[in-house]
Amino acid sequence: MCCFSGKVNYVKSTKIFARATDKGDEQFVVYSMELGSKSDVAMILPIPVKPATGDKAVKFISLEGYSRFFRDVEKGFPAPPRPRSKSKSKVGARETDAKLAVVSVGSFEASFVPTVNDFDRLDARFRLPADTWDKLPAYSKYGFAVFKLKKGNQKVHPMAFKFPRADTKKLFFPTVHIHDGQVHARAKFDHILYCQLGEFDAPPMHRWRESPGHPSGFMQVDKTKKIVNPDAHCYRIRMSGTLKNEDTLV
């Protein structure tokens, strides 16, 4: 899911869309959720960026004008006939000390942190405790997309960005949870993941559901700023319950 710089009351209804660019060297991520917090917090998404790409490797994309992005994606998956029995599906070196750039993206601000060692260039209010990343050695070579969110109960409009990916053979979904400054082996998931595939991506797992039509028939594709391919099927899977606390690769 995500990591938060401070305490949050709740996070739910997380939705993530992923697609590689046509050349396959970059990946889009669109992220939405419902959040409750008594203070301003930052949401931190670790992402596997291509090494040594610098402060401007990530491009943030405003989807403020298409707040119903995920509502429309969901239209591509009409409800199937009710099954006879109900079951839940589960998926099983710093260049500078200059402050990091802050970008206005719709109703929030965003920054890209190139490496773990660059967090001290970010406003202290929006960092995790210094020892947090010591507990997550797998992220030592990751970059981080940071979104600064206002306090209160809110449904955050879709947050989108594009990054140069280190692994061009797998789509990446940021689903690891850190909500209280602690890293737990298992966490509660309330997610729906969506993706589109390109020639560089492996087929999704068999539990993923394929849309019968293309987004050109159920989305306002012109409002997605080229994030969505109008002529490629979408795939969808729900992750719910207490699952292993890790990111998802397809």
State the pLDDT at residue 193. 96
pLDDT given for residue 93 in this prediction: 37
User: What was the pLDDT predicted at 49?
Assistant: 96
Report pLDDT for 1: 47
Whether the Cβ atoms of residue 143 and residue 192 lie closer than 8 Å to each other: no
- From first CA to last CA, the distance across the chain in angstroms is 15
Which stretches in the chain have pLDDT values below 70? 1, 80-97, 104, 106-107, 179-182, 200, 203, 205
Q: What is the pLDDT of residues 128-150, one digit of tens each?
A: 777 778 878 888 899 999 998 88
Backbone region of residue 129 per phi and psi (left: phi > 0; alpha: psi in -120 to 50; beta: other values): beta
pLDDT reported for residue 128: 79
Q: In sequence order, what DSSP letters do the residues of 24-39 get, joined into one string?
A: SSEEEEEEEEEEEESS
Query: Token pair for residue 217?
Result: 């028939």
Helix (H, G, I), strand (E, B) or coil at 119: helix
Strand-pair partners of 165: 49
pLDDT in tens, 196-233: 998 767 767 678 999 999 999 999 999 999 999 999 99
pLDDT confidence of residue 154: 81
Confidence (pLDDT) at 90: 45
CA distances from 235 to 27, 66, 80, 158 (A): 16, 20, 15, 18
Q: What domains are there in the chain, each with its CATH number? A: 3-79+100-249 (2.60.40)
